[in-house]
Structure 1
Amino acid sequence: MQTQFAPDGWKYAILTFVAGVLASIITPLAAVFGIIFSTSILAFYRDPDRQIAPIGVASPADGTVSVVRDEGGQLRIAVYMSATNVHVNRAPLTGRVNEITHRPGAYKLAFSKESENNEQLQIDFEDYSVILIAGWFARRIHPYIEEGDRISKGDRIGHISFGSRADVILPPRFTEEDLAVEVGDTVYAGQTMLAFDPDEEECE
């Protein structure tokens, strides 16, 4: 199977490699570091295929669940992505993109409480939202979708360069009893179920 990479991955990797080769004129070690850094960048931008969770709400990101709380009558689940996680984000549920809002802000560490004031991109679907939050080093959020797009659960919706955070604010019908994860759990984008969907249970 051919390895996939998020957009810009090859660009940054090639730039790093070329810089290392040019610097090797000064010291041969620069070429070695160029190869190491370019390989590391490609690892950050890897985009593997996923087996999408057949039921419930899929995780929007790879990483660790860092926040689970009620927010204005809706549950908010945050996933912290470290530098070693896949950084491609996926849609937790099927729906239409109503609005995409970019909000400038600070660049605090993505796993800190203050990160909610960081630069972020909020994607509002019909009855839920995904919020992509940049970390102190990850200052580029790249959406793959536009307002009006119809998105299926597990579809790729964007990526954040290097470590960061992705939150999902669930539709009002979800309660704490529907949760399938807790703070500290490891999750995978599109693959891990964050919560059971009460609407699906009613259809059984």
Structure 2
Amino acid sequence: MKFAPGYRRFAVPAFVGAAIFAFVLPPVGAFLLAFGAFVLWFFRDPERSPPKEGIISPADGRVSVIREEGDRVRIGVFMNVTDVHVNRAPVSGTVREVTHRPGAHKPAFSKDSDKNERVDIVVESEDGEFEISQIAGAFARRIHPYVSAGDELARGERFGHIDFGSRADVLLPPEYGVEDVAVEKGESVTAGESVVARSE
């Protein structure tokens, strides 16, 4: 099993503390051992197999946003604590820019989450310009994009993760309309595998 980068920062201190406290304060040692195991589970990074066609989900979770923004459509996926938090590219293309925007840390499922800290990644593909957003939540304080401007992204490839949170969006090109969306609000999706939109 692979793990997202950064898991050692949380897991190693927990396991070291568990080894020490196991002899001094066993209940504390047991808690730290359980926390270390939780960190490994939370940072898990399973392999995925993208389908042959369609725009695929950037995150595991439930669809929380489907809305029109001018001539474009946004699809957002809320990641619960039980979901894998490694994000995957909805399409293949060239990364044109990666922008970090500071902001609040409201719950990622709330309407105010659009003002949260975020990283926006613009990808130029054969089907147009896509914008992928990693949005922090109430507990997520670190967004980790893996890509930089000029990088080539393959469909389904890992492009980043968020520590302990929270939402990932894809803003479709103007060529796509709401009729091209293949999911509904509340639907469970899998990063790198579930199709969220199809072109005609």
Give the TM-score, by structure 1 length.
Answer: 0.93
The residue aligned with 2:161 is 159
Rounded to whole Å, the distance in 1 between the matches of 2:179 and 2:69 is: 16
SS at match of 1:128: strand
Query: Residue 21 of structure 1 contacts residue 30 of structure 1 at CA under 8 Å; is this kept in 2?
Result: no
Say how many residue pairs are matched: 196
The residue aligned with 1:66 is 64
Q: Deviations over 1:153-184 (max 9, x none)?
A: 10100000112000100111111111110100
The residue aligned with 1:83 is 81
How large is the Cα RMSD of the aligned pairs? 1.2
Query: Residue 55 of structure 1 contacts residue 197 of structure 1 at CA under 8 Å; is this kept in 2?
Result: no
The residue aligned with 1:35 is 33
Rounded to whole Å, the distance in 1 between the matches of 2:14 and 2:139 is: 17
SS at match of 2:156: coil
Percent identity, aligned pairs only?
Answer: 49
Rounded to whole Å, the distance in 2 between the matches of 1:152 and 1:102 is: 22
| Structure 1, 112-121 or 18-27: larger mean CA deviation | 18-27
Rounded to whole Å, the distance in 1 between the matches of 2:73 and 2:54 is: 14
The residue aligned with 2:11 is 13
Deviation, 1:24, is 4.3
**In the alignment, residue 148 of structure 1 is paired with which amino acid?**
G
5+ residue gaps in structure 2? none
5+ residue gaps in structure 1? 199-204
Query: Residue 88 of structure 1 contacts residue 158 of structure 1 at CA under 8 Å; is this kept in 2?
Result: yes
Confirm whether residue 146 of structure 1 aligns to residue 148 of structure 2. Answer: yes
Deviation, 1:43, is 0.8
Deviation, 1:30, is 1.1
Deviation, 1:20, is 3.1
Find the partner of 1:188 among 168, 187, 190.
190
Q: Deviations over 1:34-89 (max 9, x none)?
A: 11000101111000001112111000000000010001210000000011100000
Q: Deviations over 1:81-133 (max 9, x none)?
A: 01110000001011110000000001111111111111100001120100000
Rounded to whole Å, the distance in 2 between the matches of 1:110 and 1:168 is: 15
SS at match of 2:95: strand
Find the partner of 1:132 among 122, 131, 134.
134
The residue aligned with 1:112 is 110
| Structure 1, 105-114 or 22-31: larger mean CA deviation | 22-31
